[in-house]
Structure 1
């Protein structure tokens, strides 16, 4: 749901950033139309790549609002994107917004079709991040980190994301769309997917712990 101040993706100039997975992408839009963007399949190195990618956009990416993926995915990638969004929002005096990365994957796989989509991406410790989304883009169930066999028990036919083919093969049925989230596809998201709460969506507890066994906080 949109918090406090309503915001539309399709008004004004919007900078989009997505670094939650192995891919890293940026895009600049004006009133919903893509001006420029870049997508790189990096695996690692998001911290070194992201700022130069933004700087290479027209006007060095300067926009009226910044929208970034909140995860789940790589802890490092999520935090890099959030740090960049917060820093640029402060420097430019604009608002930063977030969206669930799996919602973007589902929107990309849905396209113009009114179908449900199960997003399935690489998690940690051999698990997969999974979440179902309806034809309107709304979540059908909470985000979960599941063992592959449990993820394959999800009943939605169309599966999208980095583990889509593996899930469909394991289940023995369905339609796989292997893809990674791309900031250039931001306008496929409904405004209802946006939030002003920039808390990371990690999907599971971090592996790293502070002295005394405490978990790191999402600053």
Structure 2
């Protein structure tokens, strides 16, 4: 089973090709604005002459623009090659890539005065939410605080915490998660925790019609 995974939900462009639990190719680059331009070439380079069985895309949370770029490309690519397409969220991919610890708080970069977080306790996931510095201080000051992991851990600078790291990240963690448990993948729908940074008034929308 060959899996092509795409991750542009964070501020990077990441593509991985796996077969039966082993990585065949991987390409990743930090990028805030060029994901749409980089992604087609990354996919071409990583795929080579391989035939793909499954296409997986990161549905978020993360960068609003990045999520849309990945989903739009994945849907068009899957349709063109008649591939089954599924989505996996950032929290689940990070959690599974860490071999599912008993109590961990996954933090995803939000690029604001908060961070996206979801806690997993004994295999049960809590509600994903936007966490402020104050909320995180309270969580980590508890008698038995969770481990922490993810792209948003830097938000904890100055606090006391125990971080764990995964061997896999970006598109690698998506492919790894799907290989370990395909049932964790779902319909490729965008996963937003808050509204996009840019909104349009009804007046401006009406004037453009």
TM value normalised by structure 1: 0.78
Cα distance in 1, alignment partners of residues 190 and 199 from structure 2: 17
| 1:185 equivalent in alignment to 2:176 | no
Find the residue that maps to 1:152 and give its secondary structure. Answer: helix
Larger radius of gyration: 2
Find the residue that maps to 1:27 and give its secondary structure. Answer: strand
| 1:204 equivalent in alignment to 2:188 | no
Cα distance in 1, alignment partners of residues 49 and 120 from structure 2: 34
| 1:22 equivalent in alignment to 2:11 | yes
- 1:96 deviates by 0.6
The question of whether the paired residues in 2 share the 8 Å contact of 1:62 and 1:92 is answered with no
**Higher-helix-fraction structure:** 2
Structure 1: gaps (5+ residues): 1-11
Cα distance in 2, alignment partners of residues 53 and 63 from structure 1: 15
| 1:195 equivalent in alignment to 2:186 | yes
Cα distance in 2, alignment partners of residues 62 and 210 from structure 1: 42
TM value normalised by structure 2: 0.81
Q: Would the alpha carbon gap of residues 178 and 166 (structure 1) be closer, same or farther in structure 2, given more than 3 Å must change?
A: farther
Cα distance in 2, alignment partners of residues 124 and 213 from structure 1: 29
Q: Would the alpha carbon gap of residues 65 and 169 (structure 1) be closer, same or farther in structure 2, given more than 3 Å must change?
A: same
Greater displacement, 156-165 / 176-185? 176-185
Equivalent in 85, 91, 97 of residue 102 of structure 1: 91
The question of whether the paired residues in 1 share the 8 Å contact of 2:94 and 2:173 is answered with no
| 1:128 equivalent in alignment to 2:115 | yes
The question of whether the paired residues in 1 share the 8 Å contact of 2:115 and 2:155 is answered with no
Following TM superposition, where does structure 1 have runs of at least 4 consecutive aligned residues deviating by more than 6 angstroms?
none
- 1:84 deviates by 1.1
Cα distance in 2, alignment partners of residues 80 and 191 from structure 1: 23
Cα distance in 2, alignment partners of residues 114 and 128 from structure 1: 21
Name the residue aligned to 1:144.
129
Greater displacement, 183-192 / 84-93? 183-192
Structure 2: gaps (5+ residues): none
- 1:191 deviates by 2.7
Within-5 A mapping of 1:166-177: 166-167=155-156, 169-170=158-159, 172=160, 174-177=161-164
- 1:200 deviates by 0.6
Cα distance in 2, alignment partners of residues 117 and 214 from structure 1: 44
Q: Would the alpha carbon gap of residues 15 and 160 (structure 1) be closer, same or farther in structure 2, given more than 3 Å must change?
A: same
Find the residue that maps to 1:56 and give its secondary structure. Answer: helix
Equivalent in 86, 104, 125 of residue 117 of structure 1: 104
Cα distance in 2, alignment partners of residues 64 and 27 from structure 1: 13
Could you say what the CA RMSD is over the residues aligned between the two structures, in angstroms?
2.6
